[in-house]
Structure 1
Amino acid sequence: MSLFNLAYARHTGGQFVLRIEDTDRARYVADSEAQIFDTLRWLGLPWDEGPDVGGPYAPYRQSERLDTYRPFVDRLLADGHAYHCWCSPERLADLRKEQAAQKLSVTGYDRLCYGKTREERAELPGFSDRPVVRLLVPDDVDLGFVDLIRGPVSAPRPDDQVLLKADGFPTYHLAVVVDDALMGITHVVRGEEWISSTPKHLLLYRYLGLTPPAFAHMPLLRNADTSKISKRKNPAARLMWFREQGYLPEALRNFLQILAYPPVVPDTEVATFDEFVAAFDWAKVSTGGPIFDLTKLNWFNGHYIRSLTPSELAARIVAHLTWTGEWPSAPDPARVDLLTRATPLIQERLVTLSEALPKLTFLFTPDDELVVEDDAFATLTADAPRVLDAARDALQGLEPFEDRAVEAALRAALVEGLGLKPKFAFGPVRVATSGTRVSPPLFESIALLGRASTLARIEALRARLA
């Protein structure tokens, strides 16, 4: 939602407002606000007004605005548009179970408290001395509204929504209406699950004499089986998962963009956020539930990785490793230099930043700690000892010890000298130096390892084959 909110704000010269809606104390998580800030900053979606940057309508945390809401509640009560409800949580739970058992087509609160005084309600079962305040929804409530994306929309009839909870906190429904009006919000972009709430929001605007904003309800992302993406079942529903996996923010932005919007650059789905902003039009936003295709995201990420220079990519990899804690916040400059020099070897093969270090582990492993993987060891044939002997002799006094010289020396010794085909000639050397069957380009890797490490590893494997 933030991506499309910000795009429209930038397209029209408006302000993107970040408000923390934290009135549901039962679901409040202490570090959730910091996660929101971190995620949006990482994605490159800055806000113009918010709790940390301030603005003309501060405070921007709803929990700090409680005194703002009470006068509006009192006005609704005085005008007969709201009423107190003393039903206990247990009674409400029983009511829901009874309605479910009866398979009623219309469910919701049964208005037991409506029109009663506290004393009258106290004489009935299921009484609580801590009332809530409910909106009185008229029978002829208007269920239609115009959506910026969908055009005319008809929503289900709402029940008498709780506006003020027993703890004195407003519900989302009251708080957003009041705050959007007081903060001058002109456009609200939210998920399509809020379509059913829009009639009661518009009713509140009318009862309170406030001007409603325009609404745009975005389609919900779907799994491959078209089911709704669940944060509990699908880690990809949590945005920071993408950072943990090593996706680039610009790739994720571009991917999310095309899920609900057609390509903005002819003949390609690749487009910058600025290009998206310039072309933005609500009429082009899709209303169908887009399928979250991780393969497609991987393609985008690979494209953006290969569009970086090797030094830029190396810097991204280092930043990722320090952020995940795999490397210390101030890594050894020698390790950074080695990774920077090795990055060109893996750039074409990378899909995510998290794949970089595993592909280069052999470069950062002490020679005596290198483990030859079982499947790699199993590829060695009876020719392996003489191949390793010849490779050792060819590299022993090689000068300069750089990739082209290494390649020439090994080809001369193993392909021409031993008469082996390249895939058989270089396999044992790859296993010895990297511990794996598959590694970055062999000759460049050997040059990065250096003479001493390369010879030590060849000798170690050779000893195992004696």
Structure 2
Amino acid sequence: MIENVRVRFAPSPTGPLHIGGVRTALFNYLFAKKHNGTFILRVEDTDQNRYVEGAEQYIIDALNWCGMPADESPVKPGNYGPYRQSERKAMYKQYADELIASGNAYYAFDTAETLDFHRKDHEAKGKTFIYNWHNRLKLKNSLSLSAEEVKAKLDAGEDYVIRFKSPQDETLHLKDIIRGDIQIDTNVLDDKVLFKSDGMPTYHLANIVDDHLMEISHVIRGEEWLPSLALHYQLYQAFGWEVPEFAHLPLILKPTGKGKLSKRDGDKLGFPVFPLEWKDPKTGDVSRGYKEDGYFPEAMVNFLAFLGWNPGTEQEIFSLDALINAFDLERVNKSGARFDPDKTKWFNHHYMQEQANDELAKKFLPIINEKLNVIQSGSEESQDGISPAGGNDIDVNYVEMVVALVKERATFVSDFWGLSHFFFTAPTSYDEKASKKAFKEGTKDILKEVVSIVNAIDDFTVETLQTNLKGWITSNDIGFGKVMMPLRLALVGALQGPDVFDIMYMIGKAESVARIEKAVAIL
């Protein structure tokens, strides 16, 4: 086991957390828990222009819903705070100054217009402008100016940035847990800005300083940060700090397998890309969330774990504890992971079967009441035949029994009504195709006989119903389909649903007889 593991998930509060971000948080969480380490949430909110009200709380709520709360965070501080970058901003200037003093960084006074001129000039010659060893001595910075000139500019309050001085003619040897050994020619690197003229650090400087001060042992982040690895590695060396281990996770790809998954893909194909529903505070636009769409957090965690990682076995179902035990960064793939909306539903269907019926019943009850209120506020015809189980005082135990009968065919709690409405309200119409198939000459007489048999049963149970009706069918040599099809149609309104005898027992003798007699009269 690796000792003293400290990992961080460091999102920016610029909107809702994409499932790609949740996957990054998950892999950090699994790695930390596997090694009895610490999982930290650090909010990188230095870019105040992009800050969105409510986004930080959304990130915290999303992690909590997924069952992976941070051990240290802005709302649960440890000994390494503050945990918001904006509250740490006073400390970064000293580190930028330290890099200047050691010769690893320099002041640059170039205006935006000057840099734009050089870019366009290079483009016109078919070249790409890179601010580095190749041209920095021709530009306006503390490497090309005298010490007196630099001091005069600083004393005059001229705008400047602090740039990292990338080396010339060197080869960097970097190591990534997922991607192996990486070699970088420093001549192709640009001198990145570390500190801006507004007195704020860039992501690069703040990120490295925070990771060092928070004693981060492993940096597990998305593939999009791979191009920054060389700079970050050099910054650690420039400060003389121990370099953490890096692991860059593969992209989550569109369902087609081409390109990075975006919100647009979800909108187009009808699935969410955010863990929780998000309402934009500026526009009021609402984006769907997995929670509100009826997914269980266990299902979301399970399917996200398989986006880029595999256990090396055929096993697909993993609880969070099982994932912690099985997880290994060495088994994370380099190549992008294709997002499969159907597979996410497959996982949810599995976890549906594992949910306690009483908990599912509590979630289903508001849906039943809403549907019945709509029916009861409608036409008289709709109100006719409401089951005794209906109404706003439905017994949750009854609902629990219904759930037990139908959940095997459900993927979401919202599916329950379509699979079980006939337990709460009598059919007001009958499927036309099924009616032609089930109601033949002689069907009316058969159903009248069924009514007589049902009425004669005193001990109204599934067992007595089966015994009496099946016994009558067998002794009279009637085909089972001739009885069971029209009987199901009378009770349900279609040829669907669980066992007919279960339906009759649940809705009761009087309701069963009423529905059969109504079907005989109409059909």
TM range (shorter): 0.7 to 0.9
Whether 1:401 and 2:432 are equivalent positions in the alignment is no
- TM-superposed CA distance for 1:180, in Å, is 0.7
Report SS of the residue matched to 2:263: coil
Alignment partner, residue 269 of structure 1: 316
State the distance in 2 between where 1:299 and 1:283 align.
27
State the distance in 2 between where 1:195 and 1:300 align.
31
- TM-superposed CA distance for 1:443, in Å, is 1.9
Whether 1:230 and 2:262 are equivalent positions in the alignment is yes
Alignment of 1:20-169 (within 5 A): 20-76=43-99, 81-84=105-108, 87-88=111-112, 104=127, 114=141, 133-140=162-169, 143-154=172-183, 157-165=188-196, 168-169=199-200
Q: For the Cα contact (< 8 Å) 1:305–1:350, is it kept in 2?
A: yes
- TM-superposed CA distance for 1:453, in Å, is 3.4
Relative to structure 1, the CA distance from residue 285 to residue 387 in structure 2 (aligned partners, 3 Å threshold; closer, same or farther) is same
- TM-superposed CA distance for 1:93, in Å, is 8.2
Whether 1:339 and 2:377 are equivalent positions in the alignment is no
Alignment of 1:413-452 (within 5 A): 419-422=478-481, 424-452=482-510
State the distance in 1 between where 2:177 and 2:247 align.
5
Higher deviation after alignment, 100-109 or 443-452: 100-109
Q: For the Cα contact (< 8 Å) 2:255–2:341, is it kept in 1?
A: no
Relative to structure 1, the CA distance from residue 316 to residue 177 in structure 2 (aligned partners, 3 Å threshold; closer, same or farther) is farther
Structure with bigger gyration radius: 2
Q: For the Cα contact (< 8 Å) 2:60–2:69, is it kept in 1?
A: no
Q: Sequence identity of aligned pairs in percent?
A: 34
Q: Which amino acid aligns with 1:229?
A: L
RMSD between superposed Cα atoms in Å = 4.0
Relative to structure 1, the CA distance from residue 53 to residue 394 in structure 2 (aligned partners, 3 Å threshold; closer, same or farther) is farther
- TM-superposed CA distance for 1:353, in Å, is 3.8
Alignment partner, residue 214 of structure 2: 183
- TM-superposed CA distance for 1:138, in Å, is 4.0
Alignment of 1:376-395 (within 5 A): 379-383=437-441, 385-386=444-445, 388-395=447-454
Report SS of the residue matched to 1:16: strand
Alignment partner, residue 382 of structure 2: none
Whether 1:215 and 2:275 are equivalent positions in the alignment is no
Higher deviation after alignment, 390-399 or 98-107: 98-107
State the distance in 2 between where 1:239 and 1:153 align.
34
- TM-superposed CA distance for 1:38, in Å, is 2.4
State the distance in 2 between where 1:98 and 1:410 align.
91
Q: For the Cα contact (< 8 Å) 2:118–2:129, is it kept in 1?
A: no
State the distance in 1 between where 2:256 and 2:175 align.
30
- TM-superposed CA distance for 1:267, in Å, is 5.5
- TM-superposed CA distance for 1:192, in Å, is 1.4
Alignment of 1:168-317 (within 5 A): 168-227=199-258, 228-234=260-266, 235-240=271-276, 241-263=289-311, 268-307=315-354, 312-316=356-360
Relative to structure 1, the CA distance from residue 421 to residue 50 in structure 2 (aligned partners, 3 Å threshold; closer, same or farther) is same
Report SS of the residue matched to 2:337: coil
- TM-superposed CA distance for 1:315, in Å, is 1.0
Q: For the Cα contact (< 8 Å) 2:108–2:163, is it kept in 1?
A: yes
State the distance in 2 between where 1:255 and 1:451 align.
45
Relative to structure 1, the CA distance from residue 315 to residue 97 in structure 2 (aligned partners, 3 Å threshold; closer, same or farther) is farther
State the distance in 1 between where 2:480 and 2:203 align.
71
Relative to structure 1, the CA distance from residue 98 to residue 402 in structure 2 (aligned partners, 3 Å threshold; closer, same or farther) is farther
Q: Which amino acid aligns with 2:40?
A: V
Report SS of the residue matched to 2:246: strand
Q: For the Cα contact (< 8 Å) 2:311–2:327, is it kept in 1?
A: no
Higher deviation after alignment, 223-232 or 70-79: 70-79
Higher deviation after alignment, 18-27 or 191-200: 18-27
State the distance in 2 between where 1:142 and 1:26 align.
37
- TM-superposed CA distance for 1:174, in Å, is 2.3
Q: For the Cα contact (< 8 Å) 2:164–2:191, is it kept in 1?
A: yes
Report SS of the residue matched to 2:208: helix
State the distance in 2 between where 1:322 and 1:462 align.
33
Give the aligned length: 444
Report SS of the residue matched to 2:220: strand
Report SS of the residue matched to 2:247: strand
State the distance in 2 between where 1:164 and 1:78 align.
15
Alignment partner, residue 8 of structure 1: 31
**What's the TM-score, normalizing by structure 1?**
0.79
Q: For the Cα contact (< 8 Å) 2:488–2:500, is it kept in 1?
A: yes
- TM-superposed CA distance for 1:152, in Å, is 0.7
Q: For the Cα contact (< 8 Å) 2:110–2:141, is it kept in 1?
A: no
Give structure 1 stretches of 5+ with no counterpart: 121-128
State the distance in 2 between where 1:217 and 1:10 align.
19
Alignment partner, residue 318 of structure 1: 362
Report SS of the residue matched to 1:17: strand
State the distance in 1 between where 2:58 and 2:198 align.
26
CA-to-partner distance for each residue in 1:139-198, whole Å, 9 max, x for gaps? 446554101122112468443434345655433322221211111111111111211111
Report SS of the residue matched to 1:237: coil
Relative to structure 1, the CA distance from residue 106 to residue 303 in structure 2 (aligned partners, 3 Å threshold; closer, same or farther) is farther
State the distance in 2 between where 1:448 and 1:29 align.
51
